[in-house]
Amino acid sequence: MPTASIEVVITNSHGLHTRPVMQFVDIASRFASEIKVHKGGSEPADADGKSVMQMIILAAEPGTPLRIDAEGADAAEAVSQLAKLVEDKFGEE
Partner 1 sequence: MKLSDFIVSEAIIPSLASTDRDGVLRHLVSSLADAGALPRDAVDEVVAALVKREQNGSTGFGKGVAVPHVKHPKVKKMAGTVGRSEAGVDFAALDHQPVYSVVLLLSPENAPQQHLQAMNIIFSNLQKDMFRRFLRQSATREAIVDLLQEADQGK
Select 4 or 47, whichever has its Cβ closest to partner 1: 47
Q: Which of 5, 14, 17, 56 is catalytic?
A: 17
Distance CA 14, CA 93 (A): 8
Q: Which of 53, 84, 87, 88 is the binder for partner 1 (CB under 8 A)?
A: 53
Give the residues across from 66 on adjacent strands: 8, 39
User: Does residue 38 touch partner 1 according to CB under 8 A?
Assistant: no
Q: Does 54 bind partner 1 (CB under 8 A)?
A: yes
Distance separating alpha carbons of residues 69 and 38, to the nearest angstrom: 8
Give the helix ranges, DSSP H, for the chain: 18-28, 52-58, 75-87
17 is catalytic: yes
**Which residues of this chain interact with partner 1, rule CB under 8 A?**
13-19, 22, 52-54, 56-61
